[in-house]
Amino acid sequence: MNAEKEKATGTKANIQRDKRQLVLDATLELIMESGVQAASMSKVSKRSGVAVGTIYHYFSSKEAIITELYRYFKLEMLHAMKESV
C-alpha cells in the first residue's frame, strides 16, 4: 500500500510541476508577443489551459510569475557563462 501511495504522490507532484511549467511558458509567450501588460491572468489561464484559481495556487500574483521567469533566465545565463570560461 505504501508503494502505491508513493507512486500516486510522485504522479501528483509531476502533474503539479507540469501545470506550473505550463503557466510559466504561457506567461513568457504572452510577454514576448505583446508585453507584460498584455499578460493578464485570464490570458495566461487560457493560453496554458490551467484554471485561474490553480495559477494562484502556484503563484501569488503575475509579478511572482515574472520573478520566477527572471530567476530561471538569470540561472541559465550564469550556467552559460560558466561553461564558456
Q: What is the pLDDT of residues 3-35, one digit of tens each?
A: 555 455 567 777 778 999 999 999 999 999 999
> Residue 23: which of 4, 53, 47 has the closest Cα?
47
Cα separations in angstroms, 44 against 3, 18, 26, 54, 79: 36, 15, 6, 11, 28
Q: Could you say which DSSP state residue 59 is in?
A: -
Question: Cell 510559466, residue?
Answer: 24
Q: What is the pLDDT of residue 84?
A: 84
> Residue 54: which of 68, 67, 69, 44 has the closest Cα?
44
Question: Cell 507532484, residue?
Answer: 13
Q: What is the pLDDT of residue 4?
A: 53
Q: What is the pLDDT of residue 29?
A: 97
